[in-house]
Amino acid sequence: MGLITTRLFPHLFVSWSISSRSRNLKASTGAIRPSVLATCSLISQRACSGHPGTQGGCTVARHSVSSMDDSDAAQPSLFDVAVVGGGIAGLAAISRLSRRGLRLLLVEQGRGVGGRMCTRHASCPKTGHSLVFDHGCQYFSVKEACQPQFAQEVERWLEAGVVQHWQGRIGTLDFDEDEGSLNMSSFTAFPKEKLASIMVGAPSMSALGRHILGRAGVGLKEDQRGRSIDIVVKKRTRAENVQRHSPSRRWRLQLASRTTESTATEVEARVLVVATSAKSINRLLLTSVPDEVKGINSPVCWALLVAVASPLAHIPFDGAFVANSADAGVLAWVARDSSKPGRPGTGNAPECWVLHASAGWSYSMREASTDKVREAMLAEFTKDFGTQDVVYSEAFRWNNAFPLNPMRGTAKCLVDSERHLALGGDWAAGDRVGDAFESGVALAASALALL
Ligand SMILES: Cc1cc2nc3c(=O)[nH]c(=O)nc-3n(C[C@H](O)[C@H](O)[C@H](O)COP(=O)(O)OP(=O)(O)OC[C@H]3O[C@@H](n4cnc5c(N)ncnc54)[C@H](O)[C@@H]3O)c2cc1C
């Protein structure tokens, strides 16, 4: 059983082994004390950089309950582990916990899984063509030094074809303050080596989330060795009123459907894993949130999803960061989503673009309506890209786009071993998809150690 070096906040440090010995220790503590959050390691490491251009295993019992995917069928109300958050961190956690005979629950408030690594599907109002926009995470690459688990998984995803190299013309361009527009001729492509490392989910970012769940065995009753798979996935469901019930030493969660008016159902879990943005953890746990989580800042980011009737052949790139977006201009990132692998072919279909506004502009428009922002960003697009051929546009606000001051420690999650609680997400390891994945792997290891 792994030894967990535990840090008692704010200044006290202890170590103990997560084993029957520690369970006895915890049992002897009686009533639950105030939150005792622990990082899995004390060593802090600042190896990963910020966003470009912006800004124990344990022995487990076998169960014979069948798996369900978002079903309303009768479900067990007691789970070994409940994971709140179906983003990359939560999915990584569930996939590492699966196939161990555990009863697992994944709760995701969104329509699908993937979190900020997601895709908006729409249809062209004029022609009915399918439109595909990755409006959150644009692409990812692997930092092997601090993302070893992610590096291995990406190899498997590449083999499965659910991740592919973008192979686009990607780089930087300038905003011309005198002209008040993007200077398209200033586009400078990234070096070849960097371009070769750029990957996306295929045929969409959201396909990757579905792939991870499928590989975890959701929808299957048994794995290839005949072991039961018991994962309940509740989508469009928000976890609320999460409380630790001291006498039973279990977590109680209310699950509120976002599609029906029905009253929230209550479930219990032995271990609670919260894999969300830091702000969502604050909302969910209210008073018992560690200072580390409270202190994470993340900006608003407005996105414009726009489709034009025919390809913008005169634009010399497929993705570009606006180098001086922090000082001037509305736009920080512009991307020809249709150039990503597996997207609907352009032929006579509309071409899809995604634009991200700069941090300053997004902040200044944080209270504005989506209609007002759509109009303002669309005006920039038609002026800068020299087109009036827009057939679809939509604005979307990311409330917590990415952590500005992530923890980046080697632990990659926070663990309260007394309350059987593990907290993670990108903020616990960095600010990118690979960091979220690494945090999810750490969350799974912590949950197993806590059982
Ligand atoms: C605009 C934008 C651009 C980005 N660009 C890049 C990029 O180019 N490259 C890169 O690597 N990264 C990029 N990122 C960052 C990357 O998307 C994130 O780091 C990563 O996806 C975070 O994953 P996560 O699992 O930690 O959190 P999330 O993806 O936020 O997942 C958390 C999930 O928890 C759910 N949730 C929250 N509260 C509850 C609740 N109470 N009940 C149920 N569910 C709940 C949320 O709905 C969400 O789906 C970008 C992000 C944004 C927003």
Contact 408, 434 (CB under 8 A): no
Pocket of ligand 1 (CB under 6 A): 84-90, 107-110, 115-117, 136-140, 238-239, 275-277, 280, 284, 301, 303, 356, 398, 401-402, 425-426, 431-433, 436
Quick one: which atom of ligand 1 is closest to the CA of 237? 43
- What does the pLDDT read at residue 52? 33
Token pair belonging to 87? 């983003």
pLDDT at 6 over 70: no
Check whether 3 has a pLDDT greater than 80: no
pLDDT at position 42, please?
27
What would the two tokens of residue 31 be?
């009533």
Determine the distance separating the centroid of ligand 1 and the alpha carbon of 299, expressed in angstroms. 13
Distance from Cα 360 to the centre of ligand 1, integer Å? 21
- Return mean pLDDT, the chain: 83
156 CA to middle of ligand 1, Å? 22
Calculate how far, in angstroms, residue 197's C-alpha sits from the geometric centre of ligand 1.
Answer: 21
Tell me the CA–centroid distance for residue 116 and ligand 1, in Å.
Answer: 3
Q: Which residues pair with 239 in a beta bridge?
A: 255
| Closest of 53, 56, 48 to residue 3, by C-alpha | 56
Taking the centre of ligand 1 as the mean of its atom positions, its distance from the CA of residue 17, in whole angstroms, is: 32
**CA 255/CA 267 separation, integer angstroms:** 8
CA pair distance 380, 45, nearest whole angstrom:
40
Counting atoms of ligand 1 from 1, which one is nearest the CA of 141? Answer: 11
**Mean local confidence (pLDDT), 337-366:** 92
pLDDT, position 433: 98
Q: Say yes or no to pLDDT of 49 above 60.
A: no
Ligand 1 atom, smallest distance to 138 CA? 8
Instruction: Give the pTM.
Output: 0.86
Res 220: pLDDT: 66
Element (H, E) at 377: helix 370-385
Q: Note the pLDDT of residue 54.
A: 32
Q: What pLDDT is recorded for position 228? A: 67
**How confident is the model at residue 19, as a pLDDT?**
28
Instruction: Tell me how far the alpha carbon of residue 279 lies from the centroid of ligand 1, in angstroms.
Output: 11
Task: Outline where 134-248 has alpha helix (H).
Answer: 148-160, 192-196, 205-216
In this structure, of 223-237, 285-299, 427-441, the range with the lowest mean pLDDT score is 223-237
Please write the tens of the pLDDT for every residue from 298-307: 999 999 999 9
Comparing CA positions, the residue from 289, 299, 235 lying closest to residue 423 is: 289
Phi/psi of residue 397, nearest 5 degrees: -105, 125
Report the alpha-carbon distance of residue 407 to residue 427 in Å, rounded.
6
Indicate the residue type of 429: A
> Ligand 1: which of 109, 116, 242 to mutate, most ligand atoms within 8 Å of CB?
116
Taking only the tens place, the pLDDT of each residue in 131-155 is 999 999 999 999 988 999 999 999 9
Residue 22 has pLDDT above 90, yes or no: no
Task: Find, among 263, 262, 240, 234, the residue nearest to 252 by Cα.
Answer: 240
